[in-house]
A and B are shown apart, each in its own frame.
Chain A
Amino acid sequence: MIEARELSKRYGELRAVDEVSFTVERGEVVGFLGPNGAGKTTTMRMITGFLPPSDGTAVIDGADIFAQPLDARRAVGYLPETPPVYPEMDVSGYLRFVASLHDVPRRERREAVDRAIERCGLSEVRRRVIGQLSKGYKQRVGIAQAIVHSPPVLVLDEPTVGLDPIQIGEIRQLISELASPRDGESAHTVILSTHILPEVEAICRRVILINRGRKVLDQPLAELTAGGTRLEEVFARETSRDEAPAGEASA
């Protein structure tokens, strides 16, 4: 579903992302881990087509991000670090706008918007202006805009950052449901970036760890935590390896 081939992003001498390759199969939920500034956001921006890689490429649902950029982007639902919402629009108007940007046919648009609203628990606020919503609701609107066109691939960049514990629980629940939905809905392939480890343990089945722009680990969660090893220990071990002088890429 997602195939990253030696993705690199250089800013002058700085290698923000350095030959990162991985594959994510349909219906998988992968945790994309790394310390702040490891290159998580940059990698996601390359997969979603916001930034072109300096080297390498990615194939999303059979579409190469260079050769068929529009098809590749159509296959992705993306929640950036800050939900990309227009504060002056109301929730359903905004979702209709996003649906039409993503080529949801006019006839199906209302249904798509209703479905996204229902799944993200936004029914009570659908007529409210986004700028007046709480942070938790804005985040949900961000997720709703990522799933409104039912993309096969979901890319979520720190979806729970800055939320209160109850909201975090709700968002995690929502992401789990998106990956293994009820009958009649297709499963999303999810890449989730975070540096909150319990989040990974709660929803991901596989972990990709990057540090200083390089992939250092790519394993099923079950294997990593086999024998009672805690994810914190793995994280600490992998990110402290070959401790070099600072020069972190800002993500």
Chain B
Amino acid sequence: MRHVGTIAGREIRSLFVSPVAYVVLTLWAVLGAVFFLSSLAQFLEGIARLQQFRAFDQLREVNLNHDLIEPFFGTMWILFIFSIPAVTMGLFTSEKQNRTEELLLTSPVTIWEIVIGKYLAVAAFVTLLVGLVAFFPGLLFVYGDPELGRTLTGLLGLFLVSLTYAAIGSFASSITSNQIIAFFIGLVILMVSLILPLAAELGAASGFLGSENLMADLLRWMATAEHVQPLLEGLVDTRNLVYFAVMAGSFLLLTKAAVESVRWR
């Protein structure tokens, strides 16, 4: 595993000389600001409405975490579905286009070292994105007093979901040699993971998935939302942590198989 650092280092440097990194970072900062402000506006509007109706009981229930930070995190999570495939699309496709794949695969380097090295580079970038998201609730700590633990748990949720998406994006990049196609494959997989619960309900209702409902349960389990939502709400459950580990691990395994398949085709 000693080449992991070499590969990760090169990948990060090359990410930061490509325009993609800067476009994503800029858009991310702008969108973060826009959606934070709109969450803030909604929050204030909600308070104003409660005051107007003199609903003091409900007013006492208003919570910065529940009514402002969590909706904001929820939006940023959905935006990850678009931004992470853009970050990962060049990960393996560029190696094929530059023909540097041949260099990596004829070097005394294992395929795991290549896959993990590249994944770590994306993970570092994704950490930066989560850091940018963290900046906005950070402002609230200056002017108000949200709960720290709950906010950090939400950020942990965003971090884990983005790491999982990064693994899925890596896989999308490993099965094609075209960046644009890699982007859309990643996007489609992530969107499907969003609507899986719906598919599970439909399948179960129509009896298409059989009476056992094993498939439906599996589909429901694979859906991201069920595992992100508790974390965003401040609840750490080992089962959800296991979910992220299993998903990220499986897609890295698939990535490794896809990279290796060049040898056996």
- Which of B17, B18, B98, B103 lies in contact with A145, CB distance below 8 A? B103
Which residues 73-132 in B have Cβ within 8 Å of A in the complex? 98-110
Q: Shortest Cβ distance from A132 into chain B, in angstroms?
A: 13
| CB atoms of A73 and B100 under 8 A apart | no
Which residues 37-52 in A have Cβ within 8 Å of B in the complex? 45, 48-52
| CB atoms of A73 and B108 under 8 A apart | yes
Q: Size range of the interface on A?
A: 20 to 34
| CB atoms of B105 and A49 under 8 A apart | yes
- Which of B13, B100, B102, B109 lies in contact with A78, CB distance below 8 A? B102
Give the tally of cross-chain contacts (CB within 8 A). 66
| CB atoms of A88 and B99 under 8 A apart | no
Closest residue to B104 on the A side, CB-wise? Answer: A101
Q: Shortest Cβ distance from A153 into chain B, in angstroms?
A: 12
Q: Shortest Cβ distance from B180 into chain A, in angstroms?
A: 19
Give the residues in chain B near A51, CB-CB below 8 Å.
263
Query: How distant is the Cα of A103 from the Cα of B107 in the complex, in angstroms?
Result: 9
Give the residues in chain A near B18, CB-CB below 8 Å.
88
Q: Shortest Cβ distance from A98 into chain B, in angstroms?
A: 7
| CB atoms of B98 and A101 under 8 A apart | no
Q: Size range of the interface on B?
A: 20 to 34
- Which of B7, B99, B108, B110 lies in contact with A103, CB distance below 8 A? B108
Closest residue to B97 on the A side, CB-wise? Answer: A87
Contact with B along A70-113 (1 / 0, CB 8 A): 11011010101011111111000100011011110000000000
Q: Verify if B143 is at the interface (C-beta below 8 Å from A).
A: no
Which residues 45-83 in B have Cβ within 8 Å of A in the complex? none
| CB atoms of B102 and A101 under 8 A apart | no
| CB atoms of B108 and A102 under 8 A apart | yes
Q: Shortest Cβ distance from B204 into chain A, in angstroms?
A: 43
| CB atoms of A84 and B264 under 8 A apart | no
| CB atoms of B106 and A49 under 8 A apart | yes
Q: Shortest Cβ distance from A11 into chain B, in angstroms?
A: 9
| CB atoms of A86 and B3 under 8 A apart | no
Closest residue to A103 on the B side, CB-wise? Answer: B108
Query: How distant is the Cα of A97 from the Cα of B105 in the complex, in angstroms?
Result: 14
| CB atoms of A76 and B103 under 8 A apart | no
Give the residues in chain B near A89, CB-CB below 8 Å.
10, 13-14
Q: Shortest Cβ distance from A129 into chain B, in angstroms?
A: 9
| CB atoms of B263 and A100 under 8 A apart | no
| CB atoms of B108 and A74 under 8 A apart | yes
Q: Shortest Cβ distance from A214 into chain B, in angstroms?
A: 23
Q: Shortest Cβ distance from B164 into chain A, in angstroms?
A: 28
Which residues 91-145 in A have Cβ within 8 Å of B in the complex? 93, 97-98, 100-103, 145
Q: Verify if B6 is at the interface (C-beta below 8 Å from A).
A: yes
| CB atoms of B263 and A82 under 8 A apart | no
Query: How distant is the Cα of A150 from the Cα of B39 in the complex, in angstroms?
Result: 60
Query: How distant is the Cα of A93 from the Cα of B6 in the complex, in angstroms?
Result: 12
Give the residues in chain B near A86, CB-CB below 8 Å.
10, 14, 98, 100
- Which of B7, B14, B102 lies in contact with A50, CB distance below 8 A? B102
Give the residues in chain B near A71, CB-CB below 8 Å.
108
A70/B108 contact (C-beta < 8 A), A50-B263, A86-B14, A100-B3 known: yes
Give the residues in chain A near B3, CB-CB below 8 Å.
100-101
Q: Shortest Cβ distance from B114 into chain A, in angstroms?
A: 10
Query: How distant is the Cα of A78 from the Cα of B102 in the complex, in angstroms?
Result: 9
Closest residue to A94 on the B side, CB-wise? Answer: B10
- Which of A80, A84, A97, A145 lies in contact with B6, CB distance below 8 A? A97
Give the residues in chain A near B7, CB-CB below 8 Å.
101
Q: Shortest Cβ distance from B24 into chain A, in angstroms?
A: 17
- Which of A48, A52, A74, A84 lies in contact with B99, CB distance below 8 A? A84
Q: Shortest Cβ distance from A59 into chain B, in angstroms?
A: 16
13 further A-B pairs in the complex, CB-CB below 8 A; given A71-B108, A85-B98 = A48-B106, A50-B105, A51-B263, A52-B264, A78-B103, A80-B102, A84-B101, A89-B13, A100-B3, A101-B6, A101-B109, A103-B108, A145-B103
Q: List 13 A-B contacts (CB under 8 A).
A: A50-B105, A52-B264, A73-B107, A80-B99, A82-B99, A83-B99, A85-B98, A86-B98, A89-B13, A93-B13, A100-B3, A100-B6, A101-B103
